Amino acid sequence: MKIKLILVMIFLYGGILTLQAKEYNASLFGIKSNGTTLNTTSIQRAIDFIHEQGGGTLRFYVGRYLTGTVVLKENVHIQLEEGAILVGSTNIYDYNIDVPNCALIYAKDAKNITIKGKGVIDGQGREVAYNLLAQIQSGVLKDPLDYDRPRNRRPKAIYMRSCENVRIHGVTIKNSADWVQVYDQCVNTVVDSITVDSKAFWNNDGIDIVDCRNFKLLNSFIDASDDAICLKSHDATKSCEDVEIRNCTARSSANGIKFGTVSAGGYKRIRIINNKVYDTFRSALTIATPDGGIVEDILVDSLTAFNTGNPFYLRIGARWNKGRIGSMNNVVIQNVKVEVAKEKPDRGYSYEGPIEDNPRNPSPSSIVGLKNAPIRNVTFRNIEISYPGGSNQHYAYRGTSRTDLDSIPEMEASYPEFSQFKELPAWGFYIRHAENIHFEGVVLKLREQDYRPMLVLDDVNGYSLLRVKQTGAKGKKELVAQGSKKIKP
């Protein structure tokens, strides 16, 4: 009786083993770790083989594995052991430049794929971008050049489109020529414990979560020259839903955490919990919907930002919205501490953010909707922000009279950025075209005197201020409300 049971168990155990994915070392496919052999075809053959066998793990041990684009397939897992580096070729023609989003690691319509381990993916993006530029200038490739740099064909490090059950764990991703990693219309994705170090070229977004459902970004460190953690929506019929960003640290020469810029469909049920932002040129958090996207049910809890250019920028615009008007509703931002820098916060990083929108004194946090589309139901709870102050009204001036406030352009069709209005009339918060805005336990500190008031409300239909305090500002009125209505909290 007992023996029978043991036999059954052994049989079962064996069955489980064969169900488990098989493992393959890279060398099995002639993949060389010498850093000079271009391994594109060998790695691709390995992936295809493992895929045809029903799945498994392709394992890279210590070494430098030079490669161009490889396409991941269903049930194939890449294991980059500590010391293994996938090195992106510097030759632009080693990438799949004929598709709209070329990338070093590319996947489309694939299920169950993993990239994990303590290894590194290095895109060598600056060299790739320069070589691409040279091909454009020699006339072989056609490109309009935006701001004197290639618009198209800069490879991303990772691009995954319409994939399911993707796991990215532990790896370091470096030096992309474009956005570092894009997950577009993916379902059930977990990105956990990764490191992004990418200041190699322009548009180096750290991570782009585009129209994804059930996405978790956890325990990761992201240092990127463009927006560090970025949610986007490229498809008006899709949206980012049920996204969680937790325990991450972000550094950027643009925004720390950003919704947008392209916001066609929108963002629903997004939770941003316990994150840090530092040395960031623009806003710690930007929520922008300029392209008709619907933003609702957003929770930002426990955010710390220090040495940042701006705390918060919430914006509805009308840029590529094609007649649809975006909306923003139910946003809770709580347990936040921010220190705004006086000097340029990203000074010394590669590809520093541009000095622009001048003349302008230090910008306030802003919540700016549209006349016909106010930003609705926003709560700021338990917030502490320290602003530099020290504005000079002879350099840039915006008063708070009706005429002065009306002189602030709507700029609904412009690229949304906290500095876009140039000088704003407040040092703490500027709120325009909004409805039901609640402040509870908000302390704003001013380090040097400012000619502007702390808070300016213009066309705010319903606001409440509970335990709102300021320190540092002296001898003037600190609240200006024009065309706005106070309500009980």
**Residues interacting with another protein, by CB under 8 A?**
126, 130, 133, 137, 145, 147-149, 202, 350-352, 354-356, 358-359, 392-395
Is 362:427 a contact under the CB 8 Å cutoff?
yes
Nearer to another protein, 361 or 366 (CB): 361
φ/ψ of residue 96, rounded to 5: -80, 65
To the nearest whole angstrom, how small is the minimum distance from the Cβ of residue 47 to another protein? 34
Closest CA to 242 of 275, 277, 266: 266
Residue with smaller CB distance to another protein, 92 or 385 = 92
Least Å distance, CB 133 to another protein, is 6
Rounded to a whole number of angstroms, the minimum distance from the CB of residue 421 to another protein is 15
> Please, what sign has the CA dihedral across residues 246, 346, 175, 182?
positive
CB closer to another protein out of 274 and 358: 358
| Least Å from the CB of residue 171 to another protein | 25
Whole-angstrom Cα distance, residue 205 to residue 228? 5
Torsion angle of C-alpha atoms 39, 36, 137, 173, degrees rounded to 10: 70
Q: In terms of CB distance, is 130 or 320 closer to another protein?
A: 130
CA angle 185, 191, 46 (to 5 degrees): 80
* Least Å from the CB of residue 477 to another protein: 22
φ and ψ of 250, to 5 deg = -125, 140
For another protein, the closer of residues 53 and 393 by Cβ is 393
Smaller CB separation from another protein, 55 or 389: 389
- Residue 350 CB, shortest distance to another protein, in Å, is 6
Nearest to 300 by CA among 288, 310, 287: 287
Neighbours of 21 (CB within 10 A): 16
Query: How many of the other CB atoms lie within 10 Å of CB of 6?
Result: 10
Q: Are the CB atoms for 305 and 332 separated by under 8 Å?
A: no
Which of residues 254 and 295 has its CB atom nearest to another protein in the complex? 254
Residue at token pair 């690229």: 415
User: At its nearest, how many Å lie between another protein and the CB of residue 395?
Assistant: 6
Residues 220, 222, 225: CA angle, nearest 5 degrees: 170
Residues in the chain: 489
> Taking the complex as a whole, how short is the minimal distance between the CB of residue 283 and another protein, in angstroms?
17
Closer Cβ to another protein, 192 or 352, answer by number: 352
